[in-house]
Amino acid sequence: MVAPLKHVLLKHASDAFRSQNHLDSVWRSFGYSEAPNFLRACADYDTFVDRLESASVTKHFLPSDNRAGIDSIYVHDPAMTIGDGVLICRMGKKERSDEPSAVERFCRATDIPVLGRIIPPGLLEAGDILWLDKNLLVVGESYRSNREGIRQLLELAGEGIDEIISVPLPHWNGPDDVMHLMSLISPIGTRSAVVYSRLLPVPFRRRLLDAGYDLLEVPDDEFETLGCNVLALSPSLALMADGNPETRRRIESRGIEVVTYPGAEISLKGHGGPTCLTRPLVRM
């Protein structure tokens, strides 16, 4: 999850948010803290894309699709990458139920192998999935991903995974809140991760330490501003939303360069940071 990012799937704010009128009519039903400003969101997203371009990442954009809601800007969650293929998830948030099919259509149109998809009663969102090692997956069991979804993941992944560790996640602010495993941990370098340990299950945190991980703690106030949501562009370069100076300082103290983007409209209001905004397709 920290190898140099080469190809990434995105959905531009202009296509996900559509218009100011649309945002004003739906933001509450999607659980946003307030309505994003459409024009500022589009401008901020362009800056986000510029940061990826500066790291020589090749971008692929999902098209506009009126069947998908405003959360479709967060393309990380509807699918996960395994080897050269993609596994299509099934969303635990009902307002996002059309997003996996949109990603599947894109993959089939661009000849990206589709390994399968999670079917009812399974639920699985890729924000709950973390590669701890090449063949070892950690999956958060949450309101968004259930035990049946994890079972299907192991079955569909086949020889690509040796073991799956299930990590029960806390209730926190309830089923309507965004609480993925990757809300609590972001790998950023070789055996390094940004974490919010106050919400990490103790057995999982101990396993990280036993595996030799250097855990960089996120301050309480910066957890609220997505300081724990960091995208590794390479083992020595990370991307995060601005406004998290202490987390940035701690990352940079490990010799990792940090670049930022304005996240007020495209990240904070919808509770999705740079990891959520990207579906990595190729790292190498």
pLDDT of residue 159: 76
Q: What is the average pLDDT across 17-41?
A: 97
pLDDT of residue 51: 98
Assessment of whether the complete model's pTM goes beyond 0.85: yes
Q: What is the average pLDDT across 127-148?
A: 93
| Structural domain range at position 95 | 5-283
Count of domains in the chain?
Answer: 1
Q: What is the average pLDDT across 276-284?
A: 97
pLDDT of residue 171: 92
- The CATH number for 41's domain is 3.75.10.10
Q: What is the average pLDDT across 174-181?
A: 88
> How high does pLDDT run on average in the chain?
96
Whether omega for the bond prior to residue 4 falls within 30 degrees of 0, making it cis, is no
pLDDT of residue 207: 94
Better pLDDT: 163 or 183: 183
Q: Among 51, 119, 81, which Cα is nearest to 266's?
A: 51
163 pLDDT band, cuts 50/70/90, is confident
Better pLDDT: 87 or 134: 87
pLDDT of residue 160 exceeding 80 = no
pLDDT of residue 192: 96
Distances in Å between the alpha carbon of 172 and those of 73, 177, 184, 258? 24, 8, 12, 29
Coil, helix or strand for 195? strand
Q: Which two tokens stand for residue 65?
A: 């699709």
pLDDT of residue 239: 98
Q: What is the average pLDDT across 139-165?
A: 90
Alpha helix ranges (H) inside 89-219: 99-109, 147-157, 202-210
pLDDT of residue 173 exceeding 90 = no
Q: What is the pLDDT of residues 231-269, one digit of tens each?
A: 999 999 999 999 999 999 999 999 999 999 999 999 999
The two beta strands, 192-195 and 185-189, are antiparallel
